[in-house]
Structure 1
């Protein structure tokens, strides 16, 4: 709206908050889905349902404009070198060259580090507006009013979680839970612990009520539920090391019996088929999914695959990630002799590896996964070639999510993207046990074994993993492998405080037989705690005297 656009001269934060103000000005009272005024709107159940729709914004696996692509977020980690020109800031986050824009107060959606700040506060505004006005509407069924209120509260918590995780990990964020007056717009950051307390309180109100079902039926899984509220509570408290709270939330999900690890019905002899099919159309509907975006993986094929498929080749998998996979008998390659380790580094299939490697990554010479295709990154005549802009510069290409069904459909597939799944709940619970001193709790082995056996790996060897330090090493490795390219590694690096170790120095790809060396891609210089959070646009400082850049910026 033109009048609304005139208001956003104060910067992204004010642009996000200004719609929350209680005011009689036209730009504030015409923010309903049909642009009517408050006097005309908020009258019926249908109008409130329409307003609730403006509160929703699920994350996607691929690039969706409004929000970060979860798959691409691995480009800001030690798993992937990202080369997409549609969001160069992912690469800049990964190598440490990112700077906050000095003048860009209206960034495009591809500049998600800055756009998301604005977008989340806009969505919080929508939630607050609904909650402020829904009691004025006529409902034939009061349970529907309660349901909409509960959904809006979970959505509001969701956006605060994203803001806190991305912009305020050490400093907090302005926490907004009401329509603000003009005198209240210059908000300071709410401290981290207070933000967490308020998020937990909002989620607990929903979890402890009957306003939402634990799980919706398949046709309504895009609605918030009590299980999603529990999952969000688990995740945000894990990220900020409130392990007891995260553990309790994870346990509620586990003991509910509503979720389980997926096992494929495919009859082929690939030992990794259970893991493989979880991310394809074969396993599209399963009980492992807790929260997913319908069709949220539609563009992953065209973005990640090389020029051989008309793709862009933006996800270049790194050597350090490949080296994480164990051998089929459960040994790390780092535990092998120098000659054996070097052989595995040059040829990942020097021996049989964890089956998840074969179904997650194309390595040079790989002819599995897609029919009539062999991955050839060192062939100058091939679309995979490391020297092409749309080639795979690291020599390792993402295979996870890539299906024959999406081949040649130009990003128009319908594959869902799973944001949270049950395997993550089990791994979260294990981490909580280990980090609260219960590393030898039987549940640690039980849940790690469940994930490993499902993927075709042997159970946890307790003669090797016989101390807190060794079990920590194992569960961290399992997280990196099991949750690869799902947007989790970036958070793990920050939570575990390992960024200065794994996000600095040269990064490498595959062994190049022509140069007889590993492909060197770039030098990274990420300093932490600076890169624990994203910067906000510089004009936020000058527009609002009560807010400043996160620590280090």
Structure 2
């Protein structure tokens, strides 16, 4: 493969004083000849690659996937930082978006390629370390799997990107994109090779590390998002056949300290949600309430009888729109995910009291813009302090729904595993089995698994990629975003008006990449 150079990394080299590992052979300026000798040095280098694994809520210069739900129909994002989230949601993305701590498009590209460079340096130099051979083999497999995952992450956001497998030099300026198929083939091959040398589990103090099951899951994601459904189903079945993962019995506890250590998590970022309370809770409790759920998401949850609001009569639908959890008769996952007028998780929240003494009034500073607040991954134990909640990048419930999707889209909508695993997920949430008299065709099963993914995985970071894969952006990301029903007017709050066009299925390639390299083509529409 041709060695290539990423312009922004050079610019980062020239401006950064905090990541000397990228410009020197070691943070203390030790040369490559003197480094890469001990297990401690190898772990230091490997941990530097793990640093780019995404977090949940906002952190500086990080891929913050829960924050990015503000780019979807699940939420709106309002804060005096990370303004690109709202810019993209409104349909105003452009290639001139800036870099720095407060932005998304350029930093994700930049930081991922920096981490890829770290992985390449590791794979080129760590072989001389004097450590136990099998342990060295595992470390190499971790670096290789991380490099594959970093390419996968770039692929999900930007589409076609360059594959980089060697440490590049500032003089090498012939950067070109690889095709989608080349990228996915590379990712799958790398993950297959790495998984052979990785364990299925680690001790509790090493749970952040990539396992065999994580490799299979990443492979599933890559294949599914390239619409290679038969192969994706096979990869997902590899995870299931490990007989290692289980659905945690309590859905709510998956996202708080009580259930944080569980058999459902496949790949995590330790303490990746340490900012959740501060960014999500209402202002009067010390939060910012930056990410607010939409009425569209609220109206997606079924009743406890398994009926969608659309299946109810007009009068019943209106009752639930005005009182979302009327008689506690909605899917329990709604209450575990969202705080709404009448819920008690944060105490009494009344967005409709316009008194200036009400800190929770609609659209007040540090209050909700939709009338709903985020609850998932917010533990009241973190009130007034930084937390340490882990973030699950992939968990077994997600994997099972990917398996279902892969079966359906490969023409096997009536495979027994489809309804089996959908019902397992529903039953765990105390929801009834899906009605097979209703969900009795490919189109209806597709409707079912897409709804299940939305409510099961809301505010976990997958919705943006689901919208793109299913090509539903024109349907769900155009028009007025509504919030809760105002009891005074009996009308939904109109929060903002969004537009979506074909270009919005990808982020733009950062402008300084295309400006500095004539071989780098911009994504369509930008």
The alignment's TM-score, normalised by the length of structure 1, stands at 0.89
The alignment's TM-score, normalised by the length of structure 2, stands at 0.93
Shift in Å at residue 350 of structure 1? 3.6
Map 1:98-137 to 2 at 5 A. 98-101=93-96, 104=98, 107-137=99-129
1 CA distance for matches of 2:146 and 2:466? 23
2 CA distance for matches of 1:504 and 1:28? 42
Cα deviation, 1:336-372, whole Å, max 9, x if unaligned, reads 22222222222213451111112211111222x24xx
2 CA distance for matches of 1:142 and 1:34? 27
Contact 1:17 1:185 in 2 (8 A): no
2 CA distance for matches of 1:507 and 1:283? 33
Cα deviation, 1:216-264, whole Å, max 9, x if unaligned, reads 121111222211111111112112211122211111111111100001x
Cα deviation, 1:148-174, whole Å, max 9, x if unaligned, reads 211110111111111111112xxx111
Helix, strand or coil for the counterpart of 1:34?
coil
Aligned in 2, Cα 1:13/1:37: closer, same or farther, shift over 3 Å? closer
Of residues 355, 362, 370, the one that matches 2:332 is 355
Aligned in 2, Cα 1:491/1:27: closer, same or farther, shift over 3 Å? closer
1 CA distance for matches of 2:370 and 2:301? 17
Contact 2:277 2:380 in 1 (8 A): no
Contact 2:105 2:510 in 1 (8 A): no
Shift in Å at residue 11 of structure 1? 4.3
**Which residue of structure 2 aligns with residue 390 of structure 1?**
366
Shift in Å at residue 319 of structure 1? 0.6
**Which residue of structure 1 aligns with residue 70 of structure 2?**
75
Map 1:10-409 to 2 at 5 A. 11-12=7-8, 15=11, 30-57=24-51, 58-101=53-96, 104=98, 107-137=99-129, 139-168=130-159, 172-180=160-168, 184-207=172-195, 209=196, 211-263=197-249, 274-351=250-327, 352-367=329-344, 369-370=345-346, 373-379=347-353, 380=355, 381-409=357-385
**Which residue of structure 1 aligns with residue 432 of structure 2?**
458
Shift in Å at residue 426 of structure 1? 0.7
Shift in Å at residue 543 of structure 1? 0.8
Contact 2:232 2:406 in 1 (8 A): yes
Contact 2:66 2:460 in 1 (8 A): yes
2 CA distance for matches of 1:16 and 1:469? 48
Shift in Å at residue 10 of structure 1? 8.2
2 CA distance for matches of 1:124 and 1:413? 29
Contact 1:16 1:121 in 2 (8 A): no
Shift in Å at residue 140 of structure 1? 3.8
Helix, strand or coil for the counterpart of 1:126?
helix
Cα deviation, 1:51-103, whole Å, max 9, x if unaligned, reads 2222222211111223222221110100101102220111111111222227x
Contact 1:356 1:481 in 2 (8 A): yes
What are structure 1's unaligned runs of at least 5 residues? 1-8, 19-25, 264-273
Helix, strand or coil for the counterpart of 2:479?
strand
Helix, strand or coil for the counterpart of 2:361?
coil
2 CA distance for matches of 1:386 and 1:231? 41
Helix, strand or coil for the counterpart of 1:55?
helix
Shift in Å at residue 323 of structure 1? 0.6
1 CA distance for matches of 2:40 and 2:59? 28
Contact 2:362 2:369 in 1 (8 A): yes
Helix, strand or coil for the counterpart of 2:392?
strand
1 CA distance for matches of 2:411 and 2:307? 25
Aligned in 2, Cα 1:479/1:33: closer, same or farther, shift over 3 Å? same
Helix, strand or coil for the counterpart of 1:402?
coil
Q: Is the aligned partner of 1:541 residue 2:518?
A: no
Helix, strand or coil for the counterpart of 2:493?
strand
Shift in Å at residue 516 of structure 1? 3.1
What are structure 2's unaligned runs of at least 5 residues? 15-19
2 CA distance for matches of 1:14 and 1:186? 14
Helix, strand or coil for the counterpart of 2:335?
helix
Cα deviation, 1:416-446, whole Å, max 9, x if unaligned, reads 1111111011101110111111111111111
Helix, strand or coil for the counterpart of 2:484?
strand
Of residues 396, 399, 411, the one that matches 1:422 is 396
2 CA distance for matches of 1:326 and 1:507? 20
Shift in Å at residue 29 of structure 1? 7.2
Shift in Å at residue 40 of structure 1? 2.2
Shift in Å at residue 14 of structure 1? 5.0
Deviating more after overlay: 192-201 vs 181-190:
181-190
Helix, strand or coil for the counterpart of 1:152?
helix
1 CA distance for matches of 2:43 and 2:253? 36
Contact 1:14 1:185 in 2 (8 A): no
2 CA distance for matches of 1:180 and 1:202? 20
Shift in Å at residue 496 of structure 1? 0.0
